[in-house]
């Protein structure tokens, strides 16, 4: 020991011991917090994501898909009949700037999209295709198309029952249509459901909509520039996010209407380059998707395995039925609730049918997935040298490897997309959490600032810590929102049908005309 201390190296090493011990203490503290939290909340996480008996299909996914199917049939396949009109509404053809509300149809759509277009489109789709095979893409698209009807239902109600204040601001979302809509129909429990939904929303906003995004963004950045403390990333993100959200929904919408189209076009353009280079394989890829959807080639459980993975990814990606988007869409300038329901049905189409499908096609065409002859399962063939099993931690790696087959620098484009996706998700979920917060504690600038500061603090925590149990719990809270929300939608969907029939009859008769700009 004395000999060690007598050298300069020994002195330097000893001087570094406090820092090493401090780092080890920090890691140990993270693990202790993680263990304590997991012990207290594990039952809730397990309950929400519990599989149906005899399957590995989470019951919450079935809950979302069944609801989407019911709404699709009940509203006469509105997602297909009203698709063209949705485009007209987003263009502003029927928008009157004098209507109550804070943002345009386009801004409301991009704000909601910024909350759903995220890491699930990059990593989650890769895992779905890696485990469920190319056939999972077919079921993912189908679930996305069905989910359009869920968005239509919840966003129509969000506008119909929103609160409009004298200063021009509005507050809306499931908590408001639960209280007002249930009261209008003479139903009990609306207030109780609203409080439970609000609590779940705040938890989901601070975790899955915040900490997880910051954590993954830091992982992507440090993977490029080298390892460095996560709190630095957290502080930068917190400062930028606070600068945006302090201005409210108008400020958020002004950012998302620029960021969402840019990040979406950037990502889709990168995917299109790969597809153009490998154009001769596109027909083969679609053949793999359709064959795999019904035969489940290389998938445990046959086509059921592909179906499960596809439905899971669509449900987790577009959040149709969760109720979050209804909060953003409620801020729109309109006097016709159905118009925003129609606009919102574009959301799952863009998120799942377009962006998720592009990811799946690139992965299928790239050849980074191969079938292990020993097991018959799809595995990652990384640079032709190593084969590893696909799991939840290899999603971004799989997508990155697929993009790199086109050009070696494409993973850098992917990294930029990940950072933008994480940022946009955080600012949207800050608004969702804020509206749930003000529903519980009351409106007021000071009360809003308190939540915004708390939200930004958790960005730093999320980037610096690795609290897996906290993230699992917050994800469970997001899908617990769907349990409460869809329950309410079943009771309130007759109101939506009445609104829908009235709107389309007036549109057909010519009573509703395009607004002359």
Q: What is the pLDDT of residues 36-61, one digit of tens each?
A: 766 777 788 888 889 888 777 788 88
Helix (H, G, I), strand (E, B) or coil at 171: strand
Q: Is residue 468 part of a domain?
A: yes
Structure confidence by residue, pLDDT tens digits, 346-376: 988 988 888 888 888 888 888 776 666 665 5
**Which residue in this structure is represented by tokens 């987003």?**
90
pLDDT at 451 over 90: yes
Q: Is residue 12 part of a domain?
A: no
Domain CATH for 297: 1.20.1740
pLDDT at 479 over 80: yes
pLDDT at 158 over 90: yes
Q: Is residue 329 part of a domain?
A: yes
Structure confidence by residue, pLDDT tens digits, 284-307: 888 888 887 877 554 544 556 677
Instruction: Return all residues near 467 (Cβ < 8 A) that are at least 6 apart.
Output: 30, 33, 34, 37, 211, 461
pLDDT at 3 over 50: no
Q: Identify the pLDDT of residue 183.
A: 95
**pLDDT confidence bin for 468, thresholds 50/70/90:** low
Kindly report the average pLDDT of the chain as a whole number.
80
pLDDT at 198 over 90: yes
**Which of 208-212, 223-227, 319-323 is most confident?**
319-323
Q: Which residues of 294-324 are buried (b: 16+ CB within 10 A; e: fewer)?
A: eebbbbbeebbbbbbbbbbbbbbbbbbbbbb
The alpha carbons of the chain give a radius of gyration, in whole angstroms, of: 24
Question: Using the 8-state DSSP alphabet, how is residue 332 labeled?
Answer: B
Q: Is residue 14 part of a domain?
A: no
Does 110 or 349 have the greater pLDDT score?
Answer: 349
**pLDDT confidence bin for 20, thresholds 50/70/90:** very low
Taking the mean position of all CA atoms in its chain, how far away is CA 197? 18
Q: What would the mean pLDDT of 490-517 be, rounded to a whole number?
A: 86
pLDDT at 324 over 80: yes
Q: Is residue 32 part of a domain?
A: no
Structure confidence by residue, pLDDT tens digits, 383-396: 544 445 555 445 66
Cα–Cα distance, 347 to 426 (Å, whole number): 18
Domain total in the chain: 1
pLDDT at 11 over 70: no
> In the chain, how long is the greatest CA-to-CA distance?
95
Beta strands in 146-217 (DSSP E): 163-164, 170-171
Quickly list DSSP for 69-126.
HHHHHHTTSHHHHTHHHHHHHHHTTT--TTSSSSB-HHHHHHHHHHHHSSHIIIIIHH
Q: What would the mean pLDDT of 53-73 be, rounded to a whole number?
A: 89
Q: Is residue 1 part of a domain?
A: no
370: left (phi over 0), alpha (psi -120 to 50) or beta: beta
Q: Identify the pLDDT of residue 69.
A: 95
Q: What would the mean pLDDT of 24-28 be, rounded to a whole number?
A: 54
Q: Identify the pLDDT of residue 293.
A: 80
Does 89 or 473 have the greater pLDDT score?
Answer: 89
Structure confidence by residue, pLDDT tens digits, 252-266: 878 878 877 887 888
Domain of 98, in residue numbers: 47-509
pLDDT at 243 over 60: yes
Kindly state the tokens that stand for 113.
């999209």
CB 193 within 8 A of CB 487: yes
Q: What percent of the chain has pLDDT over 70?
A: 82
**pLDDT confidence bin for 504, thresholds 50/70/90:** very high
Q: Identify the pLDDT of residue 30.
A: 55
Q: Identify the pLDDT of residue 13.
A: 41
Q: Identify the pLDDT of residue 343.
A: 92
Q: Is residue 88 part of a domain?
A: yes
**Which residue in this structure is represented by tokens 């509703």?**
512
| Model pTM score | 0.84
φ, ψ (nearest 5 deg) of residue 199: -65, -45
Q: Identify the pLDDT of residue 382.
A: 56
Q: What would the mean pLDDT of 194-214 be, rounded to a whole number?
A: 89
Instruction: Please compute, for residue 169, the number of CA atoms within 13 A of its CA located in the half-sphere on the CB side.
Output: 12
Does 194 or 95 have the greater pLDDT score?
Answer: 194
**pLDDT confidence bin for 454, thresholds 50/70/90:** very high
The secondary structure element, H or E, covering residue 456 is helix 445-464
Q: Is residue 34 part of a domain?
A: no
Does 366 or 70 have the greater pLDDT score?
Answer: 70
Residue closest to 158 by CA, chosen among 129, 194, 187: 194
């Amino acid at each position: 020991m004395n000999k060690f201390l007598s050298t300069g190296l020994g002195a330097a090493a000893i001087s570094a011991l406090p820092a090493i011990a401090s780092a080890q203490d920090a890691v140990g503290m993270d693990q202790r917090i993680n263990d304590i939290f997991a012990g207290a909340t594990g039952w809730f996480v397990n309950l929400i994501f519990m599989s149906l008996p005899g399957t590995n299909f989470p019951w919450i996914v079935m809950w979302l898909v069944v609801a989407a199917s019911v709404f699709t049939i009940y509203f006469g396949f509105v997602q297909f009949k009203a698709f063209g009109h949705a485009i007209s509404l987003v263009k502003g053809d029927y928008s009157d700037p004098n209507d109550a509300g804070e943002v345009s149809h386009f801004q409301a759509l991009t704000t909601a999209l910024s909350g759903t277009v995220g890491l699930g489109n990059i990593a989650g789709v890769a895992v779905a295709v890696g485990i469920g095979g190319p056939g999972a893409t077919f079921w993912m698209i189908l679930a996305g198309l069905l989910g359009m009807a869920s968005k239509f239902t919840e966003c129509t109600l969000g506008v119909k029952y929103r609160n409009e204040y004298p200063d021009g601001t509005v507050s809306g979302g499931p908590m408001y249509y639960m209280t007002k809509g249930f009261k209008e129909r003479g139903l009990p429990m609306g207030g109780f459901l609203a409080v439970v939904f609000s609590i779940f929303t705040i938890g989901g906003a601070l975790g899955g909509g915040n900490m997880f995004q910051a954590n993954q963004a830091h992982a992507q950045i440090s993977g490029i520039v080298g390892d460095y403390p996560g709190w630095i990333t957290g502080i930068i993100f917190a400062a930028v996010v606070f600068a945006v959200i302090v201005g409210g929904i108008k400020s958020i919408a002004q950012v998302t209407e620029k960021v969402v189209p840019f990040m979406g076009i950037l990502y889709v353009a990168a995917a299109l380059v790969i597809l153009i280079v490998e154009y001769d394989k596109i027909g083969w890829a679609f053949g793999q998707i359709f064959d795999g959807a019904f035969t489940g080639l290389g998938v445990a459980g046959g086509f059921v395995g592909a179906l499960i993975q596809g439905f899971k990814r669509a449900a987790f990606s577009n959040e149709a039925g969760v109720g979050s988007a209804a909060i953003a869409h409620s801020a729109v300038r309109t006097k016709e609730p159905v118009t925003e329901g129609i606009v919102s049905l574009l959301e799952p189409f863009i998120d799942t049918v377009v962006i998720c499908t592009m990811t799946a096609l690139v992965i299928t065409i790239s050849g980074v997935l191969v079938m292990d002859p020993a097991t018959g399962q799809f595995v990652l063939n990384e640079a032709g040298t190593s084969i590893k099993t696909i799991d939840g931690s290899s999603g971004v790696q799989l997508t990155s490897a697929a993009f790199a087959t086109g050009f070696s620098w494409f993973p850098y484009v992917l990294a930029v997309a990940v950072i933008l996706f994480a940022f946009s998700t955080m600012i949207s979920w800050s608004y969702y959490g804020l509206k749930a917060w003000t529903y519980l504690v009351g409106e007021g600038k000071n009360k809003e600032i308190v939540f915004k500061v708390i939200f930004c603090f958790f960005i730093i925590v999320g980037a610096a810590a690795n609290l897996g149990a906290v993230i699992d719990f917050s994800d469970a809270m997001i899908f617990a929102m769907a349990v409460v929300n869809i329950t309410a939608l079943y009771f309130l969907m007759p109101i939506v049908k009445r609104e829908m029939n009235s709107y389309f009859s007036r549109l057909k008769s010519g009573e509703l005309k395009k607004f002359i700009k």
